[in-house]
Amino acid sequence: MPFEVTILGSRSALPVKNHFPAAQVLHVQERLFCIDCGEGAQMQLLRAGLSLLRIRAVFISHLHGDHIFGLFGLLATMSLLNRKNELPIFAPAPMENILRDHLHYFGDGMTFQPVVHTVPTDSPALIYEDNAMTVQTIPLQHRAPTAGFLFREKTPLRNVHKHVVAQYKLPIDAIIQLKNGADVILPDGEQLANETATYLPYTPRAYAYCSDTQFSEDVIELVRGVDLLYHETTFQSDRAALAKQTMHSTATDAATVAKRAGVKKLLIGHFSSRYPSSNGFLREARNIFPNTEIGRELTTYDV
Amino acid sequence: MPFEVTILGSRSALPVKNHFPAAQVLHVQERLFCIDCGEGAQMQLLRAGLSLLRIRAVFISHLHGDHIFGLFGLLATMSLLNRKNELPIFAPAPMENILRDHLHYFGDGMTFQPVVHTVPTDSPALIYEDNAMTVQTIPLQHRAPTAGFLFREKTPLRNVHKHVVAQYKLPIDAIIQLKNGADVILPDGEQLANETATYLPYTPRAYAYCSDTQFSEDVIELVRGVDLLYHETTFQSDRAALAKQTMHSTATDAATVAKRAGVKKLLIGHFSSRYPSSNGFLREARNIFPNTEIGRELTTYDV
């Protein structure tokens, strides 16, 4: 059951020759989600070997160009490819108005309906749920209303050990009871304990996406213990003042969040074009939180 | 005095891994113009080693996404780079409304003013003129109102041969008369013929950009004799019916225009992703017009 994230773009606002702006694809079991959609995201999707038509929903953290200007091309291409399913777009206001105006000019003959779900950015909220997972917002502090996203698998139904089913010739209703976590009384009066008869098919995992934001204490509790935290690090500490002024994070800020939240692993990106290499970001973050990696474009990371 | 075009993108609407949508930069003497602005144009500009801030104006042929979705990112980046000069954008209606709506959401803190000049698409019109050149529209026939653009150098002032200036000790007013093409009467009554005293510093050149359009007789007269014609060839003749239906050109159409207009050279592009290679386009066009080349991305062609 895959739970992994592919980085499509990792640069910040100013373009550089070889890096794309913010965009990721999250793969949760059989679902694909696009997280932020900077210019060129659809080209990067193709390069990553991912089908645009499998995108189930789009999550936009905030309405700055480097996080959203790839959305218009993505919508056009989905229509050229004859998408039929509605596409939910989760984003802060005024995304609904932006999309409405966009479709006024470019929506003729669209084969599907993109539908905006406006997300709150001032308090955490459950914005998506299906049978296997949830998505909650993580309020962030940036120059525009901004939300991070916490993708969390639900605890799956327990599986019943095959040898138990065979040994006790379990009827279907007993299996369902066991899958739901209950003990079962067998016809001969024996009690079958759930914990010996069943196992969790997988441990639920969680991925948190935080971009863009200045350091925020509130984020720490919301991402506590996640398996993988992506946190922007636009600057290194040499530009801490600029980070504060532009409401971005330094590598130290991101690593501090990761350490204090006890996450398993930290992925960093959204580097300012002022830095010719990403090595300094990695060094600075690992000084505080050793299990840090650079989020490299067209690379996939297990959650 | 350079007059050359750099191809930034050459694919048609459906994205492919390794080609960008329509965008070009035209370099006329010290001026840079952007012609169409598909997604990723700003990244390709950087890769071509061209400064975004040197773009003097943008020309958009029509308002389909693959010709315009890179404009929003380009504007944002010009502002990040602190552009101050007004940026003229020549485009069919309703570009003015699109830009107005865009700036409503994304225009906060823009350091410069983009200004739309709506171009007619039903008859040729002079839309730009400066001391060295003009730009005229070429009405095209596509599914949206579409204009091609004809960039033409003006005949430059004549230069006076240095040895003539020295021999006759020409005063400044005589030199000015000669530069403007007149003959001059010398103090001793001798007449100095313009054609022996002067020369043209360069022969005026012309570049015509035609994308997208179905075959049009009217285009032939408008591009007659240009030094370089860029003409879209979305399809090869095997898909002539699809070309007609989508109002695009085949390689045969483009080569026929080039041949009948007596242009010096033909550049082709905007290839459908249905074709894995561009070789077939080249073969088909060269059968009719031998001096044809593929417009390859990040390659510069003399006009």
Q: What is the pLDDT of residues A195-225, one digit of tens each?
A: 999 999 989 999 999 989 999 999 999 999 9
Select from B18, B19, B20, B39 the residue whose CB has the most chain A CBs within 10 Å, as the one to mutate to test that interface.
Answer: B39
**Residue A42 contacts B, CB cutoff 8 Å:** yes
Assess whether B183 carries a catalytic annotation.
no
Query: Contact B153/B226 with Cβ under 8 angstroms?
Result: no
pLDDT at B15 over 90: no
pLDDT at B11 over 90: no
Chain A: closest CA distance from residue B40 (Å): 6
Residue range A45-68, pLDDT digits in tens: 999 999 999 999 999 999 999 999
How many domains is chain A partitioned into structurally? 2
* ipTM of the complex in this document: 0.92
Chain B: closest CA distance from residue A255 (Å): 28
Does B115 share its domain with B169?
no
- Chain A contacts of B82, Cβ < 8 Å? none
**Residue B76 contacts A, CB cutoff 8 Å:** yes
Q: CA angle at residue A80 from A75 to A84, to 5 degrees?
A: 75
Residues of A serving a catalytic function are 66
Following DSSP, what letter does each residue of A191-226 receive, concatenated?
Answer: EE-HHHHEE-SS---EEEEE-S----HHHHHHTTT-
Does A296 share its domain with A219?
yes
Res B275: pLDDT = 93
Res B16: pLDDT = 84
pLDDT at B17 over 90: no
**Average pLDDT of chain A?**
95
Q: Of B67, B39, B56, B57, nearest to B211 (Cα)?
A: B67
From the list A15, A17, A46, which residue is nearest B16 (CB)?
Answer: A46
Res B246: pLDDT = 94
C-beta atoms surrounding B15 within 10 Å: 27
**Residue A39 contacts B, CB cutoff 8 Å:** yes
> In this structure, what token pair is assigned to residue B69?
């979705």
Does A26 share its domain with A120?
yes
| Host domain of residue A176 | 159-199
C-beta atoms surrounding A105 within 10 Å: 17
pLDDT at B45 over 90: yes
Does A253 share its domain with A125?
yes
Does B227 share its domain with B250?
yes
Q: Output phi, psi for A167, to 5 deg.
A: -60, -45
Does B50 share its domain with B164?
no
Q: What residue in B sits closest to A14 (Cα-Cα)?
A: B77
Residue B248 pLDDT level (bands cut at 50, 70, 90): very high
pLDDT at B41 over 90: yes
**Residue A94 contacts B, CB cutoff 8 Å:** yes
The whole-angstrom separation of Cα A123 and Cα A137 is 8
pLDDT at B135 over 90: yes
Stated pTM of the model: 0.93
Does B151 share its domain with B118?
yes
The whole-angstrom separation of Cα A272 and Cα A278 is 10
Res A234: pLDDT = 95
Task: Tally C-beta pairs within 8 A across A and B.
Answer: 81
Does A126 share its domain with A191?
no
Res B60: pLDDT = 98
The whole-angstrom separation of Cα A4 and Cα A228 is 9
The whole-angstrom separation of Cα B197 and Cα B203 is 17
**Residue A302 contacts B, CB cutoff 8 Å:** no
Chain A: closest CA distance from residue B71 (Å): 10
pLDDT at B288 over 90: yes
Chain B: closest CA distance from residue A73 (Å): 7
Residues 6+ apart with CB under 8 A from B245: none
From the list A43, A69, A106, which residue is nearest B15 (CB)?
Answer: A43
Average pLDDT over residues B40-60: 96
The whole-angstrom separation of Cα A162 and Cα A198 is 9
**Residue A120 contacts B, CB cutoff 8 Å:** no
Q: Which helix (H) or strand (E) is B45 found in, with range? A: helix B41-47
Q: What residue in A sits closest to B78 (Cα-Cα)?
A: A14
Does A241 share its domain with A286?
yes
- Cβ-count burial of B174 within 10 angstroms (0-12 exposed, 13-18 middle, 19+ buried)? buried
Instruction: Note which residues in 151-180 of chain B have CB less than 8 A from chain A.
Output: none
Does B225 share its domain with B189?
no
Query: Contact B263/B225 with Cβ under 8 angstroms?
Result: yes
The whole-angstrom separation of Cα B102 and Cα B82 is 19
CATH number at residue A27: 3.60.15.10
Catalytic residue among B66, B212, B227, B253: B66
Res A108: pLDDT = 93
Q: Which helix (H) or strand (E) is B2 found in, with range? A: none
- Taking 50 as the pLDDT cut, the residues of chain A under it are none
- B144, B167, B199 - which closes a domain: B199
pLDDT at B186 over 90: no
Does A40 share its domain with A175?
no
- Cβ-count burial of A51 within 10 angstroms (0-12 exposed, 13-18 middle, 19+ buried)? exposed
**Residue A97 contacts B, CB cutoff 8 Å:** yes
Rounded-to-5 percentages of helix, strand, coil across chain B = 30, 30, 40
Res A63: pLDDT = 97
Does B26 share its domain with B113?
yes
